Chains A and B, each alone.
Chain A
Amino acid sequence: MARILAVDDSPSMRQLVKLALSSGGHEVDLATDGVEALEVAEKQQFDVVITDVNMPNMDGISLVRELRRRTNYRFVPLLMLTTESTAERKQQGKEAGATGWLVKPFDPDRLLSIVSKVLT
């Protein structure tokens, strides 16, 4: 079981990500944007962070960049979960330090298997 931080500005998406991950036995915390995610991530250590890209206050790519600057998140898997699928945006995510890029709508089993893969 992993401790996972899921970040999305959409309340329903946060709920669905939490539902999918907790049904796989993971413990899930939620944040509504990059700023809140940074605050939460500084208070406690997560094994995986899954974030949307387009969010107010701080987007997902900036969040990944900020997390990678912190020594305790340098090697933590950071996954982008977004509707965006252009090569340009993926490249931006990769350069920021993202571990993977998942395009919505996600399949719960696939999400769980990716989480399990990045944790090993």
Chain B
Amino acid sequence: MNRAAADAPCRCETLGVSAEAAAILLAFAMRESEAPAVELGSALERLDQRLRPATAEASREVLTRDLAACVRALQFHDRLMQQLAVIRNLLTRFGDPAHPLPTMAGFGAQRWEELLTELRERLAADTHDDLFELLVRTGGVGTPGGTAAGQAEGSSELF
């Protein structure tokens, strides 16, 4: 066996790190989408509280119907989160037992950054930089690239 082949990570190691990166990517995505869904729910509640007393009886029926549609539709966000949580948990089973994933609930930005730095060190030698870059861009923390991607969200440009 030549030296390059001997130094290359085995397929199972590569899969393990990829799975770990994918699990973290999912955790990031779930974390980012929770707050907007909650904010949307709060906004609906405020709208309902303000509009209902001032609305005529006929319009109130429409308001109630539309509100019910919003409540039904928004629940699919929760369902998606549950499905993603199951996938995240499945992915963590493929991870390296020597690097068990920490419980990510309640992580602050600094802790995410530490996690990303640690993952970057382990990913640097293999072929999964693309996955990691996606992870960093989605998370919006940890690297200047990630920060730039975060700042670009919602921006517009005219030429």
Chain A residues close to B by CB (< 8 Å): 10-13, 15-16, 18-20, 22-23, 83, 104-109
Q: Is B3 engaged at the interface, CB distance under 8 Å to the other chain?
A: no
Pair A11/B75 contact, Cβ less than 8 Å: no
Pair B72/A15 contact, Cβ less than 8 Å: no
Question: CB-CB < 8 A to B89: which residues of A?
Answer: none
The CA-CA distance from A105 to B70 in the complex, in Å, is 12
User: How extensive is the interface on chain B, given as a class?
Assistant: 20 to 34
The CA-CA distance from A10 to B52 in the complex, in Å, is 27
Nearest-CB distance from A89 to chain B (Å)?
A: 15
A and B contact pairs by CB, cutoff 8 A, 21 listed: A10-B82, A12-B34, A12-B37, A12-B77, A12-B78, A13-B75, A15-B45, A16-B74, A16-B75, A16-B78, A19-B41, A20-B71, A22-B48, A23-B48, A104-B79, A105-B75, A107-B72, A108-B67, A108-B68, A108-B72, A109-B68
Question: CB-CB < 8 A to B38: which residues of A?
Answer: 11-12, 15
Closest A residue to B63 using CB positions: A23
The CA-CA distance from A109 to B71 in the complex, in Å, is 10
Question: CB-CB < 8 A to A16: which residues of B?
Answer: 41, 71, 74-75, 78
Question: CB-CB < 8 A to A10: which residues of B?
Answer: 78, 81-82
Number of A-B residue pairs, CB cutoff 8 Å, is 59
Q: Is B76 engaged at the interface, CB distance under 8 Å to the other chain?
A: yes
The CA-CA distance from A11 to B38 in the complex, in Å, is 6
Nearest-CB distance from A90 to chain B (Å)?
A: 18
Pair B34/A23 contact, Cβ less than 8 Å: no
Nearest-CB distance from B151 to chain A (Å)?
A: 26
List 8 additional A-B contacts (Cβ < 8 Å) besides A11-B34, A23-B48: A10-B81, A11-B37, A15-B45, A16-B71, A19-B41, A20-B71, A23-B64, A109-B68
Nearest-CB distance from A23 to chain B (Å)?
A: 6
The CA-CA distance from A22 to B44 in the complex, in Å, is 12
Pair B75/A106 contact, Cβ less than 8 Å: yes
Closest A residue to B73 using CB positions: A105
Question: CB-CB < 8 A to B79: which residues of A?
Answer: 83, 104-105
Nearest-CB distance from B2 to chain A (Å)?
A: 50
The CA-CA distance from A16 to B76 in the complex, in Å, is 11
Q: Is B55 engaged at the interface, CB distance under 8 Å to the other chain?
A: no
Question: CB-CB < 8 A to B44: which residues of A?
Answer: 19
